[in-house]
Amino acid sequence: MSRSEKEKLHRESSGEAAVPIPTNREENATAAVSTRGDDEVDLPRRVIPKINNYIELCVHRYDNELFRSHFRLKRRYTYQFIDRFQRTDFLRNNEPMVRAITHERAFLLILMYLANTETFREISDRFDITMSSAHRVLRVTLNFYNFTYS
């Protein structure tokens, strides 16, 4: 019996099954997942590669002209808006936590979305958050803007 056959037999006998998982390159990969019964299977969570530390590594290094070309607003005014946004309760987050969405990230995300023709998928990849969080941040930030400037 070959090694791959032994591993397959071990997975089947231990309650784990081989399930094909589509990847970004549309290749099929195989991962072991545990089964909890006849109908329920724990599938592994899909990992989507994203740009880490985009604000720290890129945005903070933009000169004023490049910043304005990306966000369609001068850096000085942008950070004035961010300061006002931080003093409100519109975005409730847990900033001491590592993965929290800061007010700066939220506001820059929304400016990038409104100033360009990028999708939520592109924006969420760039700012390293999920698409649902990007949508939530859009709603919250626009509510802040509407409340503050109407």
Q: Which of 56, 48, 1, 3 is nearest to 21 (CA)?
A: 48
Q: Are residues 19 and 82 located together in one domain of the fold?
A: no
Query: Could you give the number of structural domains in the chain?
Result: 2
CA atoms within 13 A on the CB side of 82: 18
Q: Are 37 and 84 members of one domain?
A: no
Contact 33, 39 (CB under 8 A): no
Task: Judge whether residue 115 has pLDDT over 60.
Answer: yes
Rounded Cα distance between 131 and 115, Å, is: 18
User: Are 75 and 60 in the same domain?
Assistant: yes
Reported as type and span, the H/E element at residue 19 is strand 16-22
Worst-scoring range by mean pLDDT, 35-44, 47-56, 89-98, 114-123? 35-44
**37 and 68 belong to one structural domain:** no
Shared domain check, 17 and 2: yes
**Residues 35-76: pLDDT tens digits?**
455 566 777 878 888 888 999 999 999 999 999 999 999 999
Domain region containing 62? 54-149
Q: Are residues 18 and 72 part of one domain?
A: no
For the four alpha carbons of 24, 26, 28 and 34, in that order, the dihedral sign comes to: positive
Cα distances (Å, whole numbers) of residue 23 to 49, 50, 83, 85, 108: 11, 14, 40, 38, 30
- Indicate whether 109 and 87 sit together in one domain: yes
